[in-house]
């Protein structure tokens, strides 16, 4: 009996020795939760490859939220949607935030200021457009109305995600002073004013972010030398399909946005082939996750740039007023 007790004691000691290292290991930590909010500049419109989630949000595994999540091992809820305005973020995206959310990124405001309509107007020939008037209206909105809307939105984000690190993401300058695209007529002066409008948007957005205690990721410098008509471009010019126009392309997200935003959300990293592959592999599960929000997302109306149409009655009237031979002008334009 004594010998059996001794054997059991020895066996027990051996088991304790084997199990102790396992018992002392910390429990596997859950992946940090990352919620990406906002508009088409966050969803990935312009990358030409989107997850099949039953919406027109144009969410891409090539967009910076997917790349950041893949590189960092974050659990991503990719709520950003093409066309989203402040009210859309409030009504359809904030429900994804909880007290367990660790990271939040958001870009919004461009659609509220009517960027698509401004670009559509300014792409027409100067004699046919009111580009300066459209820019003036957008700038007035950015200065006088948008800051209050952002302040209210940012307060709601903080209320729903009280412990999250929140980073507001800005917009790049689109132009470099020349227009190389066929069938658009941006003048150097118009391009300069449009770039100034992007800078104004960033300034007002950064101020609102700072007041809320949020970080701000400014992509301006990362896109300098890579605007529309630069080589290489990080932004699409007038494109087919039209929804891709004037949005960051694959390079714009990987080399422009990701280094800037990633540095504020866990630290800078290189977008390697593995990161791209891991992001691509997340597409199916992310699509399944987003389908639960599809009904709400369908309420968002995409803001789409329209290609210049020189055949409308308004343009014909403007041509006559300016003394332009419209048919000859169109023929010359097609040879550009």
Q: Which candidate, 26, 28, 158, 27, places its Cα nearest to that of 101? A: 158
Please state the length of the chain.
336
Q: Is the dihedral of CA 257, 268, 202, 150 positive or negative?
A: positive
Catalytic residue among 60, 107, 247, 253: 247
Contact criterion met (CB below 8 Å) for 38 and 89: yes
Q: At what angle do helices 131-144 and 146-160 cross, to 10 degrees?
A: 50
Residue 150 CA neighbour count, 13 Å, CB half: 33
Q: Which candidate, 257, 246, 186, 273, places its Cα nearest to that of 220? A: 257
Question: Which DSSP string do the residues of 177-246 spell out, in sequence order?
Answer: S---STT----HHHHHHHHHHHHHHHHHHHHHHHHHT-EEE--HHHHTT-SBTSSS-SB--S-SSGGGTT
Q: Which phi and psi (to 5°) does residue 30 adopt? A: -70, 150
**Residue 40 annotated to the active site:** yes
Q: H or E segment at 107?
A: strand 103-107
Residue 284 CA neighbour count, 13 Å, CB half: 3
Distance of alpha carbon 266 from alpha carbon 73, whole angstroms? 11
131: left (phi over 0), alpha (psi -120 to 50) or beta: alpha
Catalytic residue among 40, 43, 107, 129: 40
Which residues, in sequence order, are CB contacts of 146 under 8 Å at separation 6+?
Answer: 86, 109, 112, 113, 201, 204, 205
**Residue 253 annotated to the active site:** no
Which positions are catalytic? 40, 247
């Amino acid at each position: 009996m004594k010998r059996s007790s001794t054997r059991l004691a020895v066996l027990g000691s051996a088991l304790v020795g084997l199990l102790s290292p396992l018992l002392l290991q910390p429990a596997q930590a859950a992946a940090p939760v990352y919620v990406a909010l906002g508009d088409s500049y966050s969803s990935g419109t312009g990358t030409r490859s989107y997850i099949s989630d039953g919406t027109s949000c144009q969410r891409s595994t090539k967009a910076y939220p997917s790349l950041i999540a893949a590189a960092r091992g974050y659990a991503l809820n990719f709520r950003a949607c093409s066309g989203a305005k402040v009210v859309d973020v409030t009504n359809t995206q904030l429900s994804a935030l909880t007290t367990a959310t660790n990271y939040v990124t958001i870009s919004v405001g461009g659609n509220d200021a009517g960027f698509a309509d401004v670009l559509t107007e300014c792409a027409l020939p100067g004699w046919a457009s009111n580009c300066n008037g459209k820019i003036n209206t957008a700038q007035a909105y950015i200065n006088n109305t948008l800051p209050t809307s952002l302040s209210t939105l940012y307060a709601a984000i903080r209320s729903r995600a009280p412990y999250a690190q929140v980073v507001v993401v800005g917009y790049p300058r689109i132009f470099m002073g020349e227009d190389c695209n066929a069938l658009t007529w941006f003048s150097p002066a118009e391009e300069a004013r449009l770039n100034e409008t992007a800078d104004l948007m960033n300034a007002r957005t950064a101020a609102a972010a700072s007041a809320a205690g949020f970080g701000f990721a400014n992509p301006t410098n990362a896109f300098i030398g890579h605007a529309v008509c630069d080589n290489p471009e990080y932004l699409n010019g007038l494109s087919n399909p039209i929804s891709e126009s004037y949005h960051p392309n694959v390079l714009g997200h990987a080399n422009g946005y990701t280094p800037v935003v990633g540095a504020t959300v866990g630290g800078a990293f290189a977008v390697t082939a593995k990161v791209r592959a891991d992001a691509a592999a997340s597409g199916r599960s992310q699509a399944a996750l987003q389908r639960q929000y599809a009904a709400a997302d369908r309420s968002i109306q995409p803001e789409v740039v329209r290609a210049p149409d020189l055949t409308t009655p308004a343009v014909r009237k403007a041509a006559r007023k300016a003394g332009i031979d419209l048919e000859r002008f169109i023929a010359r334009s097609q040879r550009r």
